[in-house]
Amino acid sequence: MTRAMRSPVRTPAGTPREESPAFGSVAGDLGFDGGEPRPLNYTAIQQSEEFAQLRRRMRRFVFPMTGLFLCWYMTYVLLAAFDHSLMNQKVVGQVNLGLILGVGQFISTILIMLAYLRYAKRNIDPRVEAIRTKVGVVEE
């Protein structure tokens, strides 16, 4: 799981509360009051330029890859539904083109997942960590 998907964490007791210029008073909202943690100012984080860049980075991968996969999938479905002669062509022994393209769907799904993991590790996780550091959130 990428760092972007981890559950929220709390700041340790005794962490100094400081104003964060990028997030307004979000850092001032951290800390403990009578044993209960005070919530982060998620609105300030969401409206920050760093968060907007993070979302743009994520969309830069997700939308094109989703479109590409949907086109590939719909091509497979339409060929299976309307071009039986093409899908029934034998490739090797009893293995036909339809079977190879069907297995290709699973393989492409795995490849897309691996590509996303690599992309997230290089482009998304460092930005998430930068935002968390700027806000003053540490992992437990």
Task: Give the span between the Cα atoms of 29 and 90, in whole angstroms.
Answer: 66
Higher pLDDT, 42 or 20: 42
pLDDT per residue over 107-123, tens digit each?
999 999 999 999 999 99
Q: What is the pLDDT of residue 39?
A: 76
Q: Is the pLDDT of residue 30 over 60?
A: no
Tokens standing for residue 102? 């069907």
Q: Is the pLDDT of residue 64 over 60?
A: yes
Q: What is the pLDDT of residue 95?
A: 96
> Quick one: pLDDT band at residue 134, thresholds 50, 70, 90?
confident
- pTM value is 0.69
- Where are the domains positioned within the chain? 3-135
